């Protein structure tokens, strides 16, 4: 059975694992990333790949797949730009190719996660599928007609930066106002709680130091019935419903899977947002949209990256 090395490269962390054709993974090798210079990141990737290769049956390894943040030239594996790393035109693919004797493929991390969930997770066997990862930001990927959609310059699926509240929303990291990501990421949930603070003068929800304020505390407060938490959660869910309905209008997925830290709330999200998306999706037959929690967790990106290497590309 063929195997590949799947690498999930993030702004603060890199993980490599051996993945076989059935989606099973072997021991993970991880490193923190503190230095964002290309040379330092290359060295960290090389290290975890070498460790993962030592776990693999080398004869069965068909390639190395790397999911990385940013816009990526899928032919060469060059990162055209990556805000997370502050990179422009960094030849990650060429560098890793020169260090190992295997074919190397590089794709966007969210698209790799989508490929992973579509092949072995929440989207298995679903021809029209969307994955959204709700974390610090919102990553995404679209499968249409059974194929991952990458677009003309590999940025299809960047749904985090479509605007849902351009007039009264929060400022997004990209500079626009009211992007889906600004409103509905985990960070967006915190922003909703902060925005509502004046209405809840006796709330203790935001008493933690700002750097420790997490979306999980707000979710727990909402689940416990705290007024401030419930109000923030409802506003967040309301915005999420607009973004998801827009995605339904554009690509008509039958299943939308939500991954990332906040999505661990599971039915507390899907039960509430499902009816909103249903009501706002006026051009699809009733009852034809299912919103679920993603199933591969933090491994989705590395598994998808390995599938990309096994198949010889993101869309093949
Ligand atoms: Zn934006």
Question: Which tens digit of pLDDT belongs to each residue from 63-90?
Answer: 999 999 999 999 999 999 998 899 999 9
Among residues 40, 89, 24, 6, the alpha carbon closest in space to that of 314 is found at 6
Residue 156 domain-assigned (yes or no): yes
Alpha helices of 85-170 — where are they, by DSSP H? Answer: 92-99, 109-120
Upper half-sphere CA count for residue 128 (Cβ side, 13 Å) = 12
Residue 74 domain-assigned (yes or no): yes
* Interhelix angle 186-196/215-223, nearest 10 degrees: 70
Same structural domain, 53 and 74 = yes
- d(CA 184, ligand 1 centre) in Å: 11
| Structure confidence at residue 207 as a pLDDT band (50, 70, 90) | confident
- d(CA 253, ligand 1 centre) in Å: 23
Query: Model confidence over 173-189: pLDDT tens digits?
Result: 889 999 999 999 999 99
Helix (H) or strand (E) run with residue 231 in it: helix 227-251
Same structural domain, 132 and 73 = no
Are residues 309 and 105 in contact, defined by beta-carbon separation less than 8 angstroms? yes
- d(CA 19, ligand 1 centre) in Å: 33
- d(CA 180, ligand 1 centre) in Å: 7
- d(CA 183, ligand 1 centre) in Å: 10
Residue 210 has pLDDT above 80, yes or no: no
Instruction: Provide the CATH number for the domain around residue 144.
Output: 3.30.420.40
- d(CA 279, ligand 1 centre) in Å: 26
- d(CA 158, ligand 1 centre) in Å: 10
Looking at the chain, the whole-number percentage of residues with pLDDT higher than 70 is: 100
Are residues 241 and 277 in contact, defined by beta-carbon separation less than 8 angstroms? yes
Same structural domain, 92 and 36 = yes
Q: Which residues of 215-234 are buried (b: 16+ CB within 10 A; e: fewer)?
A: bebbbebbeeebebbebbbe
- d(CA 174, ligand 1 centre) in Å: 4
- d(CA 243, ligand 1 centre) in Å: 13
Are residues 7 and 47 in contact, defined by beta-carbon separation less than 8 angstroms? no
Angle ∠(285,290,291) on CA atoms, nearest 5: 135
Same structural domain, 249 and 108 = no
Query: Model confidence over 17-49: pLDDT tens digits?
Result: 999 999 999 889 999 999 999 999 999 999 999
- d(CA 54, ligand 1 centre) in Å: 40
Same structural domain, 281 and 304 = no
Residue holding tokens 């607009």?
242
In angstroms, how far is CA 13 from the centroid of its own chain? 14
Same structural domain, 149 and 282 = yes
- d(CA 114, ligand 1 centre) in Å: 20
Residue 129 domain-assigned (yes or no): yes
Q: What is the mean pLDDT of the segment spanning 211-215? A: 82
Residue 152 domain-assigned (yes or no): yes
Q: What is the structure's pLDDT at 212?
A: 76
Same structural domain, 136 and 278 = yes
Same structural domain, 175 and 251 = yes
Residue 316 domain-assigned (yes or no): no
- d(CA 138, ligand 1 centre) in Å: 10
Query: Model confidence over 100-127: pLDDT tens digits?
Result: 999 999 999 999 999 999 999 999 999 9
Q: What is the structure's pLDDT at 1?
A: 72
Task: Tell me the whole-structure pTM to 2 decimals.
Answer: 0.95
Quote the number of domains for the chain: 2
Q: Identify the burial level of 38 via C-beta atoms within 10 angstroms of its C-beta, where 0-12 means exposed, 13-18 middle and 19 or more buried.
A: middle
Average pLDDT taken over every residue of the chain: 95
- d(CA 191, ligand 1 centre) in Å: 14
- d(CA 74, ligand 1 centre) in Å: 23
Answer positive or negative: Cα dihedral of 261, 6, 111, 44. Answer: positive
Same structural domain, 77 and 220 = no
Same structural domain, 289 and 305 = no
Same structural domain, 284 and 183 = yes
- d(CA 53, ligand 1 centre) in Å: 38
Domain that holds residue 83: 3-116+299-311
Q: Which residues of 74-110 are buried (b: 16+ CB within 10 A; e: fewer)?
A: beebbbbebebbebeebbbbebbbebbebebbbbbbb
Residue 104 domain-assigned (yes or no): yes
Strands 129-134 and 138-144 turn out to be antiparallel
Same structural domain, 180 and 305 = no
- d(CA 194, ligand 1 centre) in Å: 19
- d(CA 84, ligand 1 centre) in Å: 14
- d(CA 203, ligand 1 centre) in Å: 30
């Amino acid at each position: 059975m063929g195997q590949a090395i799947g690498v999930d490269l993030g702004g603060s962390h890199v993980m490599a694992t051996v993945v076989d054709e059935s989606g099973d993974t072997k021991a993970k090798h991880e490193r923190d990333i503190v230095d964002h210079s290309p040379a330092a990141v290359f060295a960290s990737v090389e290290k975890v790949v070498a460790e993962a290769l030592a776990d693999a049956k080398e004869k069965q390894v068909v390639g190395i797949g790397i999911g990385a943040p940013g816009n990526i030239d899928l032919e060469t594996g060059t990162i055209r730009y990556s805000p997370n790393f502050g990179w422009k035109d960094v030849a990650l693919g060429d560098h890793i190719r020169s260090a190992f004797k295997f074919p190397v493929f590089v794709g966007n991390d969210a698209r790799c996660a989508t490929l992973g969930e579509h092949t072995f997770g929440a989207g298995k066997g679903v021809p029209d599928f969307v994955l959204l990862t709700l974390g610090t930001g919102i990553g995404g990927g679209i499968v249409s007609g059974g194929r991952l959609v990458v677009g003309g310059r590999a940025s299809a699926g960047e749904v985090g930066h479509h605007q849902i509240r351009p007039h009264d929303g929060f400022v997004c990291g990209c500079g626009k106002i009211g992007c889906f990501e600004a409103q509905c990421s985990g960070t967006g949930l915190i922003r909703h709680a902060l925005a509502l603070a004046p209405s809840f003068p006796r709330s203790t929800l935001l008493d933690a130091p700002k750097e420790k304020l997490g979306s999980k505390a707000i979710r727990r407060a909402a689940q416990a019935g705290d007024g401030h938490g419930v109000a923030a959660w409802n506003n967040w869910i309301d915005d999420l419903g607009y973004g998801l309905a827009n995605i339904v209008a554009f690509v008509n997925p039958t299943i939308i899977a939500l991954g990332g830290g906040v999505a661990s709330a599971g039915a507390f999200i899907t039960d509430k947002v499902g009816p909103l998306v249903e009501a706002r999706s006026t051009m699809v037959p009733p009852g034809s949209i299912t919103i679920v929690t993603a199933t591969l967790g933090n491994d989705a990106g590395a598994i998808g990256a390995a599938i990309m290497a096994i198949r010889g590309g993101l869309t093949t």
